[in-house]
Amino acid sequence: MKVAKELLALTYCHSAKRLPELIEEILIDLPGGEDWINRKINCPCD
């Protein structure tokens, strides 16, 4: 619930242009987040 509130608060405090970067930072800190970002960076589909 805490993370959900943090994500919601971001929408009130930051521009839409900056939100993806900020959300990614929060997601990386969650369990499995580093695995997620590593898959995203190394994805051959991009």
How do residues 2-45 score in pLDDT, each as one tens digit? 989 999 999 999 999 999 999 989 988 889 888 877 776 666 66
- Supply the pLDDT for residue 32: 86
Look up the domain containing 23 and give its range: 2-41
Q: Supply the pLDDT for residue 40.
A: 67
For residue 37, give every residue at least 6 positions away whose Cβ sits within 8 Å of its Cβ, in sequence order, or none: 24, 27, 28
Is 18 inside any structural domain?
yes
Number of domains in the chain: 1
Residue 20 lies in a domain: yes
State how far the Cα of 28 lies from the Cα of 40, in Å rounded to an integer: 11
Q: How confident is the model at residue 46 (pLDDT cuts 50, 70, 90)?
A: low
In the block, tokens 């521009």 appear at: 15
In a domain, 46, yes or no: no
Whole-model pTM? 0.65
Residues 6 or more apart whose CB falls under 8 angstroms from that of 26 comprise 3, 6, 7, 10
